Structure 1
Amino acid sequence: MDRIYPPFQTPDVQAAFAAFPKTARPGLLALRRLIFDVAEEAQGVGPLAETLKWGQPAYLTPVTKSGSTLRLGTPKSGGIALYAHCQTTLISDFRSAFPETFAYEGNRAVLLAEDAPISDGPLRLLIAAALTYHL
């Protein structure tokens, strides 16, 4: 897992990525990169903190408190997942806008196949909405 950009913020997060199944790692790293890219471009987000929550890589906006936490993981059903806080409307709003584009796990996750292309389209909108949820 060399040449990860941006570098992992903690050894614990790096270990969490190393522990993911080898087949899931590229997609999760692509989601991670997209989260950092969106945070850099979104107005009012500020620096991201990368930490672990429930053993999963989590992304927070501790300086501005503009956003709701996003997490990355591998669901029991397989594939990869982008998790949002289940008490927000993030996933339900996203599902309303893109009902057929993705699979969903209740109000908590967008589910993707391990080999799904991580595009700059709809997922960028979800990430931006999460990182600016409290603005």
Structure 2
Amino acid sequence: MNKDVQDRFEQLPPQGRSRAKELRRLIISIAEQNQLGPIEEALKWGEISFSVAGGSPIRMDCKVSSPESFFVYFHCQTKLVDTFRELYPNLCAYHGNRALEFHSSEPLPSTELSHCIELALTYHKRKHLPMLGA
């Protein structure tokens, strides 16, 4: 993990940091299971970002205006969030076509979220398929 990303993790509130570390482990695990190559971890717009070749970036953050929430962001010009909403209407609070919002003190729904992460990390192979091949 690079220094900027590590510093941003440390700036998150404790519950958000716990969710962020959990999500990071999930992303790394899915990338390894699917042999997607190296993961680039960086800060994009001040948010922790993960990307792999052939995938769409995934960002995460906690916002000062919503300290009880944990957000996972996806590129707004993809079909990702619309597909997630169709597949898992009760997964979380959806924000337009770019974000999923989870309560920081609740466990992440790992099964459904893992599927969403896999779709994002393999997006460019799937984007032409109905419902991204889900």
**TM, length-normalised to structure 1:** 0.86
**Counterpart of 2:15 in structure 1: which amino acid?**
T
Secondary structure class of the residue paired with 2:104: coil
Secondary structure class of the residue paired with 1:92: helix
User: C-alpha separation between the residues in 2 aligned to 1:98 and 1:81?
Assistant: 16
RMSD: 1.2
Match of 1:101 in 2: 91
Aligned-pair identity in percent equals 39
* Alignment deviations for residues 60-118 of structure 1 (CA, whole Å, 9 cap, x no partner): 11xxx210000011143341011100111101100111112211111111110001212
Is there any run of 5+ residues in structure 2 with no aligned partner, and where?
126-134
How many aligned residue pairs are there? 123
Secondary structure class of the residue paired with 2:97: coil
Match of 1:66 in 2: 54
* Alignment deviations for residues 18-58 of structure 1 (CA, whole Å, 9 cap, x no partner): 11112211011101110111111114x21111111001110
**Counterpart selection for 2:115 from 109, 118, 125:** 125
TM superposition outliers: structure 1 runs of 4+ over 4 Å: none
**Counterpart selection for 2:42 from 24, 44, 51:** 51
> Which structure carries more helix by proportion?
2
Match of 1:33 in 2: 25
> Which structure carries more strand by proportion?
2
Is there any run of 5+ residues in structure 1 with no aligned partner, and where?
1-7
